[in-house]
Amino acid sequence: MAHRSTHHWFALLWAIALVFMAVQLTSRLSASAFDTSILALLPQDKRQPVVDRALERMDGVIANRVLLLIGGAQADRNQLQVLAGEVADGLSASGAFTSVTTQADVGSLSALAAVYQPYRYQLLTNEVEERLAKGETEPLVNRAVREMVSPIGRPRPASVVDDPLNLLGMWMEGLTPATGFVPDQHGLYARQGNEHFRVIRAIFSGDPFAEATQKPVLRAVESAGDQVRENDVATEFLRSGLVFHAAAGAEQARSELSTIGIGSLMAIVLLLLWHFRSFSYLALPVVSVGVGLLVALSASLMVFERVHLVTLAFGASLVGVSIDYAFHYLCHARERVTHGIRHILPGITLGVVTSCLAYGAQALTPFPGLQQIALFSAAGLIGAWLTVVLWFPLAQRWLGQGRQQNRLGQWLQGLVRVRGVLAVLLGVLVLVALSGFPGLRFNDSLSALQSSPPDLVAQEQRVQALSQSPGSARFLLVEGASIQQVLERAEQASGQLDTLVVDGRLQAYQSVSGWVPSIARQREYRQLVQTAVFDRGVPSELFDALGMPAELAARSQRHFENNDAGWLLPKDLEDSPVAELFDSLWLKTGNSERPHAALITLGKVSSPAVYEDLAALAGKVGGVRFVDRVGQTSALLGDYRATLSQWMALAYGLVLLVLIVRYGWQCWRVILPPALATVITVGLLSALGQPLNLFNLLATLLILGIGLDIGIFVRESHGEWHAWEAVTLSAVTSLLAFGLLALSETPVLHHYGMTVLPGIALAWLIAFVLHRRAES
Amino acid sequence: MKGALCIGKWMVGLSLVASLVAPAWAAETREAGTSALQSLLGEQAKVESLAGQFDQSKYIADLDTTLDSSGDFAFDADEGLRWNIQKPVPTQLRITADEIVEEQDGEVVMRMDVDDQPMTRAISEVFFAIFGGNWDKLSERFTIRTLQDGSPWRFELTPKGDMLQSHLSSIELQGEAYLNALILRETNGDQTHIQLHDVKAH
């Protein structure tokens, strides 16, 4: 009795612990607790904190921005512009956005000109610099004369005396941002062939991943879409923004997880009703699985704060694994009059230990996704195991006792008679798998794992093409010990980028040095202006040509000599109209120890080969590196696929050690089903022509976990039919659950399901063929 | 920013528009009042070509000095306007319904497409609208006031939009049978006086 009461106390303690976990889970649970971005699965690259900062900055710029494009025929331009105005008004009125703009800022240019004006003798465009360096001043004089008398001359930010050749006018014109969006008097627009697009930029506040942020933004954009569709002139409505992908990802995850969860539960319910014909037998597995999930989610959010979609997918798969313990108990309890769990305890304990070892090994990798999965699954398994061990024996009185009609057992016994056929089938599968191995391919490209709806991705690509805007995935990062060094290095890189632009391989780029030349370069330019313009009497030539008094040339000379503006520095632009743009390119440092850094954003490239040129370019200039987030991510996925293969070997090794202790040389009977099933599955996938990636490998860990349970339970119960019933029930349940995963639209889940599906079926089949043969 | 850069161009471009508008309705200026102008312009659709000489004198307030230029111009309803500056440097400017092209020494130094440059479109549009007799187009952008009724007459155009207002104070048009002169006053005190002579219409 003492033993019984101790058990009661532990069961109560477990209940209290669960209540605590449930309470703390509700406080942490929100939409923002779930990551959908594939990038969140990658390790923080500890060696490159400045790269992380740059990536954060790039993300920050786009995270809270929405771009809406209203397209129609070029001929309907005016109506489109009116419609864009109305749509923008509607968006503003919705209250979802902090700002909605269609307008170009009218006063910005003159304000910017005022900032540059004092430095007009030391700001030169490439073209002017080349001409001055060659002493070709005549074309410059002619141009200045023409502009003075032509009705449509280039604007002059400084007077003809202050800046005879209008160097500042040309500098200002060269600042035109690298974007395909062009402003007219009504705002921004883009053009493609005979199509005209009006651009609306809207900024919202709050976390784009939070449902509370997404809802009003999506609703406002939805009604804007309706407004556009009602209009006959508009033929297209394009949306671009992180928030749309975040919302689509969350929606997809929600719907698919509920499909998988419900599908899995339905399968369990039907199987249990069919097998046990009792509702009380049905309730217990649901309880153990539910508790497992609660513990898994609670523990994961406690440790990681945010959990990824992939981790949750594993959570759904836990429904399949932890139910092993419940089935094992129930199948046993139905046949035995004896209370208690003692008889099956070694089996399910060995099961939980080996599974936790197999998954726990992943916690040691530096991969955040793997760590989350390791913790989630281990916590879930332990939670379910504790529930079975502590609570199930207490529920014995509600379970019907005595042997009943057992269809599954009969069916299994019938299957023994055809085990020869099964063995042949297995042999055929092995042969097919072997034929697949020569064609084994790996595809680690990130695009293969893109999970946003194709329609949204297409819109995004369209908008990017129209805006010719720099994507945030690839850029150059310039570091230096001082601000001036950063500018100098950016100038060196710009020189190289210019050749790519001239060759038509790079559409455009945007660098801080394009707004503020380094002091060294400003000094160079001023010297050039002195020798090539003022020392050679170019102003006299100009005023002479214009027929204006010669005295003006002398005045011009005096103005130049008296100009002592000092050097233009990045901080001078901080209050200018371009401050926002400039700020997005400049990575400010909080303390002096961190290096100064700036970004050079890149426009469209003519072909992917240009990325190699950019990487080579970055290698040539000190302190400059090419950050290719897409390429880097694919490379990392590949690296971790390779790493995971090694960790798999370690997992098998650890499990084997435990099994040797327990079973000695007979352990091969337990380890062979999952091991062989994994090898055949990989071969089958290759034979089907499917390239493998990290997530296929991840799934093979699950094959190990479930495969081991099959081997261990059967072995521990000496091949008794109740154990076979239990493992068969769990294998079938898992197959149904993962059958749904293979149907998922999310590529990661799809690959996962496609691997687990044949893997588990094979593990069961191998164990069945092997074990019965050993007994007979 | 590009748009803002174009404001200056547009503004000065409008002076051209005005200079061509003027001779048109000057011919029938005896019917006074703005509503009457509309009917005058209606007649304008019949004018197929105009040509003449011009002398331009630009006073630069900043330098307290003037800059002189001269040349000839020709308008054809189908081909658009040619504005040829002969002194101080030969420069040819061509405004058509599709583009504005500037040439120096036979070389194209600037070309602005109407579709890519809305400001260019505005210049071209207003210009052609007037010759097509569409007075509404001009009154969309300017308030029109009669300074002196009769012969000689004077009218003043003041811009309506903020963007134009920040650069341009007014355009004054003077004439008798045809437009004789137009005076462009900028907000910075600069003033451009364009005198037309030997104007022939067909």
A695 & A673 share domain:
yes
Classified as helix, coil or strand, A623 is coil
- Confidence (pLDDT) at A145: 87
Residue of A nearest to B91 (CA): A146
Asked whether the beta carbons of residue A146 and residue B100 sit closer than 8 angstroms, the reply is no
**Which residues of chain A are within 8 Å of residue B91 when distances are taken between CB atoms?**
146, 149-150
Across A379-394, average pLDDT: 90
**Which residues of chain A are within 8 Å of residue B89 when distances are taken between CB atoms?**
142, 145-146, 149, 545
Across A620-647, average pLDDT: 82
ipTM of the complex: 0.74
Average pLDDT, chain B: 67
Element (H, E) at B104: strand B99-104
In a domain, A595, yes or no: no
- Confidence (pLDDT) at A49: 66
Above 50 in pLDDT, residue B6?
no
Contact B173, B179 (CB under 8 A): yes
A76, A80, A116, A150: best mutation site toward chain B, by most B Cβ within 10 Å? A150
**Which residues of chain B are within 8 Å of residue A191 when distances are taken between CB atoms?**
115-116
Q: What's chain B's Rg over C-alpha atoms?
A: 16
Above 80 in pLDDT, residue A234?
yes
Read off the CATH number of the domain in which B104 is found: 2.50.20.10
A224 & A251 share domain:
no
Last residue of a domain, one of A200, A218, A240: A240
Above 70 in pLDDT, residue A176?
no
Q: For chain B, what percent of residues have pLDDT higher than 90?
A: 2
Closest to B18 in 3D by CA, of A490, A200, A151: A151
A331 & A348 share domain:
yes
Above 60 in pLDDT, residue A360?
yes
Instruction: Give the residue numbers spanning the domain of B141.
Output: 2-201
Cβ of residue A192 closer than 8 Å to a chain B Cβ: no
The tens digit of pLDDT for each residue in A88-114 reads: 889 888 888 888 877 655 456 677 888
How many secondary structure helices (H) and strands (E) does chain A include?
27, 13
A174 CB burial (10 A radius; 0-12, 13-18, 19+)? middle
Q: How many domains does chain A have?
A: 2
Across B12-22, average pLDDT: 33
Of the partner residues A142, A156, A159, the one whose CB lies closest to the CB of residue B104: A142
The tens digit of pLDDT for each residue in A650-676 reads: 889 989 999 999 888 888 888 999 999
* Biggest CA-to-CA distance, chain B: 45
Å between B111 CA and nearest CA of chain A: 11
A219 & A286 share domain:
no
Instruction: Give the residue numbers spanning the domain of A689.
Output: 2-35+247-400+407-449+633-775
**Which residues of chain B are within 8 Å of residue A182 when distances are taken between CB atoms?**
2-3, 116
How far, in Å, CA of A761 to CA of A651, rounded?
Answer: 21
Q: How many domains does chain B have?
A: 1
Residue B82: CB partners within 8 Å, gap ≥ 6?
B73, B74, B75, B92, B93, B94
**Which residues of chain A are within 8 Å of residue B15 when distances are taken between CB atoms?**
151
Across A290-313, average pLDDT: 83
- Confidence (pLDDT) at A493: 93
Classified as helix, coil or strand, B75 is strand
Split at pLDDT 50, 70, 90, the class of A157 is confident
Cβ of residue B12 closer than 8 Å to a chain A Cβ: yes
Closest to A494 in 3D by CA, of A472, A474, A517, A471: A517
Q: Count Cβ neighbours within 10 Å for each residue of A392-404 and write b for 16 or more, e otherwise.
A: bbebeeebeeeee
Asked whether the beta carbons of residue B102 and residue A161 sit closer than 8 angstroms, the reply is no
The tens digit of pLDDT for each residue in B29-63 reads: 333 344 555 444 444 445 567 788 989 998 888 78
Average pLDDT, chain A: 82
- Paired tokens of A651: 């997992």
Q: Locate tokens 């990392």: which residue?
A: A636
Report CA-CA distances (Å) from B2 to A19, A272, A327, B158.
Answer: 63, 71, 72, 24
How far, in Å, CA of A703 to CA of B70, rounded?
Answer: 90
| Residue predicted with more confidence, A427 or A44 | A427
- Confidence (pLDDT) at B138: 65
Across A607-617, average pLDDT: 87
Split at pLDDT 50, 70, 90, the class of A184 is low
Residue of A nearest to B104 (CA): A146
Asked whether the beta carbons of residue B3 and residue A175 sit closer than 8 angstroms, the reply is no
Q: Locate tokens 């059967």: which residue?
A: A714
**Which residues of chain A are within 8 Å of residue B68 when distances are taken between CB atoms?**
547
**Which residues of chain A are within 8 Å of residue B87 when distances are taken between CB atoms?**
547
B6, B56, B62, B63: best mutation site toward chain A, by most A Cβ within 10 Å? B63
Across A696-716, average pLDDT: 86
If you ran DSSP here, which 8-state letter would residue A395 be given?
G
CA A548 to chain centre: 64
| Residue predicted with more confidence, A78 or A84 | A84
CA dihedral (A570, A574, A578, A580) in degrees, to 10, reads 110
A226 & A320 share domain:
no
Which of A147-156, A467-476, A722-731 shows the highest mean pLDDT?
A722-731
In a domain, A725, yes or no: yes
Asked whether the beta carbons of residue A151 and residue B93 sit closer than 8 angstroms, the reply is yes
A to B CB pairs, distance under 8 Å: 116
Last residue of a domain, one of A240, A275, A308: A240
Asked whether the beta carbons of residue A152 and residue B13 sit closer than 8 angstroms, the reply is yes
Cβ of residue B162 closer than 8 Å to a chain A Cβ: yes
Last residue of a domain, one of A240, A259, A274: A240
A212 & A251 share domain:
no
- Confidence (pLDDT) at A119: 94
Read off the CATH number of the domain in which A218 is found: 3.30.70.260
Residues 55-74 of A with CB under 8 A from B: 74
Above 70 in pLDDT, residue B109?
yes
Contact A299, A311 (CB under 8 A): no
Cβ of residue A149 closer than 8 Å to a chain B Cβ: yes
Q: Going by DSSP bridges, is the β-strand pair B179-186/B191-201 parallel, antiparallel, or unpaired?
A: antiparallel
A440 & A320 share domain:
yes
Specify the range with the lowest mean pLDDT, choosing from A112-126, A134-148, A539-553, B26-40. Answer: B26-40
B202 CB burial (10 A radius; 0-12, 13-18, 19+)? exposed
The tens digit of pLDDT for each residue in A491-512 reads: 999 999 999 988 888 888 888 8
Element (H, E) at A596: strand A596-602
Contact A350, A716 (CB under 8 A): yes
Cβ of residue B15 closer than 8 Å to a chain A Cβ: yes
Cβ of residue A184 closer than 8 Å to a chain B Cβ: yes
Give the bridge partners for A145, in sequence order: none
**Which residues of chain A are within 8 Å of residue B110 when distances are taken between CB atoms?**
152
In a domain, A125, yes or no: no
**Which residues of chain A are within 8 Å of residue B7 when distances are taken between CB atoms?**
106, 155
Contact A568, A123 (CB under 8 A): yes
SS (H, E, C) B130-190: HHCCCHHHHHHHEEEEEEECCCCEEEEEEECCHHHHCCEEEEEEEECCCEEEEEEEECCCC
Report CA-CA distances (Å) from A446 to A462, A694, B46.
Answer: 20, 11, 66
Q: What's chain A's Rg over C-alpha atoms?
A: 35
Cβ of residue B97 closer than 8 Å to a chain A Cβ: no
- Confidence (pLDDT) at A686: 92
How far, in Å, CA of B150 to CA of B138, rounded?
Answer: 22
In a domain, A73, yes or no: yes
A412 & A297 share domain:
yes
CA dihedral (A7, A11, A16, A17) in degrees, to 10, reads 100
How far, in Å, CA of A612 to CA of A626, rounded?
Answer: 9
Phi, psi of A691 (to 5 degrees): -70, 145
Å between A24 CA and nearest CA of chain B: 53
Closest to B69 in 3D by CA, of A533, A213, A145: A145
The tens digit of pLDDT for each residue in B60-101 reads: 887 888 888 999 988 777 777 788 988 888 888 887 777 788
Cβ of residue A580 closer than 8 Å to a chain B Cβ: no
- Confidence (pLDDT) at A522: 95
Asked whether the beta carbons of residue A175 and residue B93 sit closer than 8 angstroms, the reply is no
Contact A716, A662 (CB under 8 A): no
Q: For chain A, what percent of residues have pLDDT higher than 90?
A: 19
E strand intervals along A218-302: 234-240
A280 & A207 share domain:
no
Å between B107 CA and nearest CA of chain A: 12
A225 & A328 share domain:
no
Specify the range with the lowest mean pLDDT, choosing from A122-136, A762-776, B22-36, B182-196. Answer: B22-36
- Confidence (pLDDT) at A220: 92
**Which residues of chain A are within 8 Å of residue B5 when distances are taken between CB atoms?**
109, 155, 172-173, 176
- Confidence (pLDDT) at A585: 80
Asked whether the beta carbons of residue A146 and residue B102 sit closer than 8 angstroms, the reply is yes
Phi, psi of A181 (to 5 degrees): -85, 125
Specify the range with the lowest mean pLDDT, choosing from A135-144, A247-256, A290-299, A341-350. Answer: A247-256
Cβ of residue A174 closer than 8 Å to a chain B Cβ: no
If you ran DSSP here, which 8-state letter would residue A506 be given?
B
Of the partner residues B3, B88, B123, the one whose CB lies closest to the CB of residue A183: B3
Cβ of residue B9 closer than 8 Å to a chain A Cβ: yes
Q: Count Cβ neighbours within 10 Å for each residue of A684-698 and write b for 16 or more, e otherwise.
A: bbbbeebbbbbbbbb
Asked whether the beta carbons of residue B9 and residue A549 sit closer than 8 angstroms, the reply is no
Closest to A497 in 3D by CA, of A159, A178, A76: A178
Split at pLDDT 50, 70, 90, the class of A293 is confident
Dihedral sign, Cα of residue B126, residue B127, residue B129, residue B135: positive
**Which residues of chain A are within 8 Å of residue B99 when distances are taken between CB atoms?**
none
**Which residues of chain B are within 8 Å of residue A174 when distances are taken between CB atoms?**
none
Q: How far apart are the first and last CA of chain A?
A: 42
Across A582-596, average pLDDT: 69
Above 90 in pLDDT, residue A44?
no
Read off the CATH number of the domain in which A314 is found: 1.20.1640.10
Classified as helix, coil or strand, A66 is strand
The tens digit of pLDDT for each residue in A535-568 reads: 999 999 999 988 888 888 999 999 999 988 889 9
| Residue predicted with more confidence, A545 or A42 | A545
- Confidence (pLDDT) at A261: 66
The tens digit of pLDDT for each residue in A217-226 reads: 999 999 999 9
Of the partner residues B2, B3, B69, the one whose CB lies closest to the CB of residue A149: B69
Above 50 in pLDDT, residue A282?
yes
Q: Locate tokens 């038509």: which residue?
A: A504
Asked whether the beta carbons of residue A191 and residue B115 sit closer than 8 angstroms, the reply is yes
Asked whether the beta carbons of residue B100 and residue A149 sit closer than 8 angstroms, the reply is no
A208 & A318 share domain:
no
| Residue predicted with more confidence, B21 or B146 | B146
Which contacts of A458-466 are long-range, i.e. CB under 8 A and separated by 24 or more positions? Answer: A459/A238, A459/A239, A459/A240, A460/A240, A460/A245, A462/A69, A462/A238, A463/A67, A463/A69, A463/A238, A463/A239, A463/A240, A464/A240, A464/A604, A465/A180, A465/A192, A465/A604, A466/A69, A466/A180, A466/A181, A466/A190, A466/A192, A466/A197, A466/A238
A230 & A353 share domain:
no
- Confidence (pLDDT) at A525: 95
Across A167-194, average pLDDT: 74
**Which residues of chain A are within 8 Å of residue B1 when distances are taken between CB atoms?**
104, 108-109, 175-177, 183
- Confidence (pLDDT) at A706: 85
Contact A702, A653 (CB under 8 A): no
Cβ of residue B70 closer than 8 Å to a chain A Cβ: no
How far, in Å, CA of A672 to CA of A760, rounded?
Answer: 13
Closest to A276 in 3D by CA, of A345, A319, A320, A332: A332
Å between B52 CA and nearest CA of chain A: 17
Q: In what order do the strands lie in the sheet with B107-113?
A: B107-113, B99-104, B91-95, B80-87, B65-76, B49-60, B191-201, B179-186, B168-175, B153-159, B142-148
